[in-house]
Amino acid sequence: MAHAYTPGLKVVETALVRKQRRLPLAGEVLVEKGDKVKALDVVARTFLPGNVETVNVANKLGMPPEDIPKYMLVEEGTQIEEGQVIARMKQLFGLFTSKAASPVKGTVETVSNITGQVIVREPPMAVSVTAYIDGDVVDVVGSEGVDVECVGTFVQGIFGIGGEAYGEVKTVASGPRDVLAPEDIGPECEGKIILGGSLATAAALKKAIAVGAVGVIAGGFHDRDLRDFLGFDLGVAITGHETLGVTLVVTEGFGEMPMAEATFELLACCEGMFASINGATQIRAGVIRPEIIIPRPGEIMAKVGAEEEDESNLEVGSRVRVIREPYFGKLGEVTSLPVELQVLESESKVRVLGVKFDAGGKDVIPRANVELIESGRR
């Protein structure tokens, strides 16, 4: 296969970032093309059909289903209140009365003379979407949402938990190799997005929640801590719906992993700036990566999100990062790209590359086990 390597994640200082903000179904768009919006502004809203409750009227009245229309007090489409009697039957000249009441407020949707069930739909639920980033509305997507664009710093993580969050960046680690410990996090982190170094421990995350921090960014996170923190072993990597009180964005992987220096320096430079982050990750078809967006009006260097991405090729001299044991996390430079397949220690026969590590030493490793590092991409 021509492209055997994994393209890296984006780490861009100033990029044109475009985000589509869409309702789950058609509704009302509250802004217009050209409007300036803030991250927390509501840009569109709609009403989802309410939940439904079924009332087994035939059972409650003790009659065959085909007879229930005769005893219904309300018709399909009628608005009813919680506890309102919707069917009644008098027996023995009115001495005994059987009745069925609605358990919820809502609308009678169907009355079935086959099953004897009445379906009551609760009032619609309001759903809205915010702009997510400070920027401009550049497109309106029918009655479903908008595209919001900003110029800013854009960093993709490899894994995250928790949904969208907003706050100022606060650098707590002194460098990309620092482990973020609970004692590093104080009351000054309230409402902030904490920048850590190589590892965020479960204890540090708990402390972040305790002081009211909204997000944590770190190079690595231990799987065992993830289990302890979530309370279960995460099976399938589809995250973003957790409501643990903090959003975590991991930039490198599992374990203690120094954050890539370029990533750390870039984020550290954004100290005090307002950022939007999202831990939502989907490692499946339709891959979604966690992200950090920091609006910074200025010169545009790359486009992200809206435009087609170019594929880049490995070349001798390319900067790479190893993404599998035994050299996980090491940086280096490609020294050779042999065409022939080579046999590894595991006896697998694969395409390889020669690499000279920045920290000294060299080896031959599978092409599939490196990520390309280049400007605008890590």
Partner 1 sequence: MELSDVKTILATDCGSTTTKAILIKKEGDEYRLQVRGEAPTTVEKPAEDVTRGVLNAVGEVEELTGRKLIADHKVLVAEGKDEGVDIYMSTSSAGGGLQMMVAGVVKTMTAESAQRAALGAGAIVMDVLASNDGRLPHQKIEAIRRLRPDMILLSGGIDGGTISHVVELAELIGAADPRPRFGAGFQLPVIYAGNKVARPIIEGTLGEKTSLYVVDNIRPVLERENLGPARNEIHNLFMEHVMAQAPGYSKLMSWTAVPIMPTPAAVGAIIQTIAEREGFEVIGVDIGGATTDIFSVFQKVFNRTVSANLGMSYSISNVLAEAGLPDIIRWVPFPKSQLDERDLRDRIRNKMIRPTTIPQTLTELVIEQAIAREALRLAFVQHKELAVGLKGIQQERTISDAFTQTMTGETLVNMLTLDMLVGSGGTLSHAPRRVQAALMLIDGFRPEAVTFLAVDSIFMMPQLGVLSTVMPDAATQVFERDCLVRLGSCVAPVGNGKKGQTCLKITADWPGRGHVEEEVKYGEMARLPLAVDERVKARLDPVRPFDLGHGKGQTLEAELEGGVAGVIFDCRGRPLNLPQDETARVDALQRWLAALDVYPNHGSSEAA
Binding site for partner 1 (CB under 8 A): 1-3, 6, 25, 49, 51-54, 65, 109-110, 112, 114-117, 119, 121, 158-159, 222-224, 226, 232-237, 253-255, 283-287, 308-309, 323-326, 328, 344-350, 365-366, 368-369
For residue 96, which amino acid is it?
F
- Nearest distance, CB of residue 223 and partner 1, angstroms: 4
- Nearest distance, CB of residue 51 and partner 1, angstroms: 5
Cβ closer to partner 1: 182 or 305? Answer: 305
Cα(4)–Cα(338) distance, integer angstroms: 13
Cβ closer to partner 1: 58 or 189? Answer: 58
For 92-125, b/e burial (b = at least 16 CB within 10 A) is eeeeeeeebebebebbbbebbeeebbbbbbbeee
For 17-55, b/e burial (b = at least 16 CB within 10 A) is bbbebbbeeebebebeeebebebebebbebeeebeeeeb
User: What's the burial of 135, exposed, middle or buried (CB within 10 Å: 0-12/13-18/19+)?
Assistant: buried
- Nearest distance, CB of residue 258 and partner 1, angstroms: 15
Q: Which residues pair with 120 in a beta bridge?
A: 53, 108
Cβ closer to partner 1: 116 or 167? Answer: 116
- Nearest distance, CB of residue 73 and partner 1, angstroms: 20
- Nearest distance, CB of residue 30 and partner 1, angstroms: 20
Tally of CB atoms within 10 A around 217 = 32
Cβ closer to partner 1: 63 or 214? Answer: 63
Cβ closer to partner 1: 44 or 169? Answer: 44
Tally of CB atoms within 10 A around 276 = 27
Tokens encoding 5: 């390597």
- Nearest distance, CB of residue 345 and partner 1, angstroms: 5
Cα(120)–Cα(111) distance, integer angstroms: 9
Cβ closer to partner 1: 34 or 326? Answer: 326
Cβ closer to partner 1: 241 or 356? Answer: 241
Q: Residue 295: which H helix or E strand, with range? A: strand 291-295
- Nearest distance, CB of residue 138 and partner 1, angstroms: 18
Assign 349 to helix, strand or coil.
strand
Cβ closer to partner 1: 87 or 189? Answer: 87
Length of the chain: 378
Cα(89)–Cα(96) distance, integer angstroms: 8
Phi first, then psi: what are they for 58, rounded to 5°? -60, -40
- Nearest distance, CB of residue 298 and partner 1, angstroms: 25
Residue-by-residue DSSP string for 1-47: ----SBP---EEEEEEEEEEEE-SS--EE-S-TT-EE-TTSEEEEEE
Q: How far is CA 255 from CA 107, 171, 207, 224, 344, in A?
A: 53, 21, 20, 9, 25
Cβ closer to partner 1: 183 or 308? Answer: 308
- Nearest distance, CB of residue 107 and partner 1, angstroms: 12
